[in-house]
Structure 1
Amino acid sequence: MNMEWQEKYKIGNADIDASQKALFELSSQIASSDDWMTLRPMIVSLFKHMQTQFELEEALMAQVNFPGAQAHAQDHQNLLARLRDRSMDVGKGHMNKKAIVGVTTDWAHRHVVNQDAELAHYLAAWA
């Protein structure tokens, strides 16, 4: 599954766009690695980075009174809960890389393409 960041994913906020690009790169590294010792810290980093990314987006949505903010934030919470569960498995010594990649793929190919795109459209009209 392609986890490559594309220019069309920009929402129009430099900090959020840079953070999202880095999150795509980390997700891609996880998807392409099979080394347990490498994956474990990357998965911890992935959770922290995704949480920060979502906080940035939610702060921006509040700032501009984005009408879809509640549903967008709820999807963030659902994605984080799924990733948290998989991260906890890793902490217990159970690596389910497929499930972790499933969360990042869902984020990249559904959330970014649909919900983040709606936010980008709103921001473009708002500016």
Structure 2
Amino acid sequence: MLPKWCDKYSIHNEEIDRQHQKLFELAANVEMISDKPIHKGQIKFLLADFFNYMKEHFAEEEKYMAKIGYPELVNHQKIHKSIIQSMIDLIQNIKSTNDLKEKLNIIASKWLLEHILREDMKIEKWHQTQLNKKDNETNLEDLQEFYEYICSCTDKIHKVPCEIHQKIQKTNASYKCKTCQEAIKLK
């Protein structure tokens, strides 16, 4: 029994998630016909639909991975190419309707769903880690106190961290603006 789509398979990209849901539906359709008598033409139609949708989905997924800077993009592309090539090989070597159904079932369960459940979840895990890092960096920045200093430059404000501000106040240290070369002063 193939798994059904649920939110735990989400990679938090609306388009990719929608495509994954469609692929789960196609896989369920394949599973439904696997033990029923069906015309070879219907199976070929389902196979072609599956094949074309997978290629479209893989292209979109690769764009998404490039956009978020996924470091394993090249390896993931190789996996996609391997799945497509294996699918082509299977299609070319079909001997009977039962053979076609069996191979379509392999495509649906082994390659596609295992790929989504295993490889695509790696993308999500990596992306969430990156987002958490950015959130933590932002939170640290938000917690840090800054003081505003000015110089001779028009409308220029220097944000000085608390440690530097304290050093200026306690030791009369002097810091110069890189533009006008004048010492900065507390606003």
Shift of 1:38: 2.3
Q: Name the counterpart of 1:113.
A: 117
Select which of 67, 79, 83 maps to 1:79.
83
Give the total of aligned pairs.
125
Compared with structure 1, are the counterparts of its residues 3 and 88 closer, same or farther at alpha carbon in structure 2 (3 Å cutoff)? farther
The structure richer in helix per residue is 1
Deviation string for 1:62-118 (max 9, x for gaps)? 11110111111111111111112223345xx74422122112212344321221111
Q: Does residue 1:28 correspond to 2:28, yes or no?
A: yes
Conserved? CA contact 2:24–2:113, under 8 Å: no
**Structure possessing the higher relative contact order (Cα contacts under 8 Å, 6 or more residues apart):** 1
Can you give the 5+ residue segments of structure 2 that lack an aligned partner in the other structure? 132-187
Q: Which moved more, 1:95-104 or 1:57-66?
A: 95-104
Identity %, equivalent residues: 22
Q: Distance in 1 between matches of 2:56 and 2:122?
A: 20
Q: Name the counterpart of 2:51.
A: 47
Q: Name the counterpart of 1:123.
A: 127
Report the TM-score, using the length of structure 1 for normalisation.
0.86
Q: Distance in 2 between matches of 1:81 and 1:6?
A: 28
Which protein shows a greater Rg?
Answer: 2
Q: Does residue 1:66 correspond to 2:70, yes or no?
A: yes
Conserved? CA contact 1:44–1:87, under 8 Å: no
Amino acid at match of 1:7: D
Shift of 1:59: 0.7
Can you give the 5+ residue segments of structure 1 that lack an aligned partner in the other structure? none
| Secondary structure of the structure 1 residue equivalent to 2:4 | coil
Runs of 4+ in 1 over 3 A off after TM superposition: none
Conserved? CA contact 1:5–1:24, under 8 Å: yes
| Secondary structure of the structure 2 residue equivalent to 1:58 | helix
Q: Distance in 2 between matches of 1:63 and 1:109?
A: 23
The structure richer in strand per residue is 2
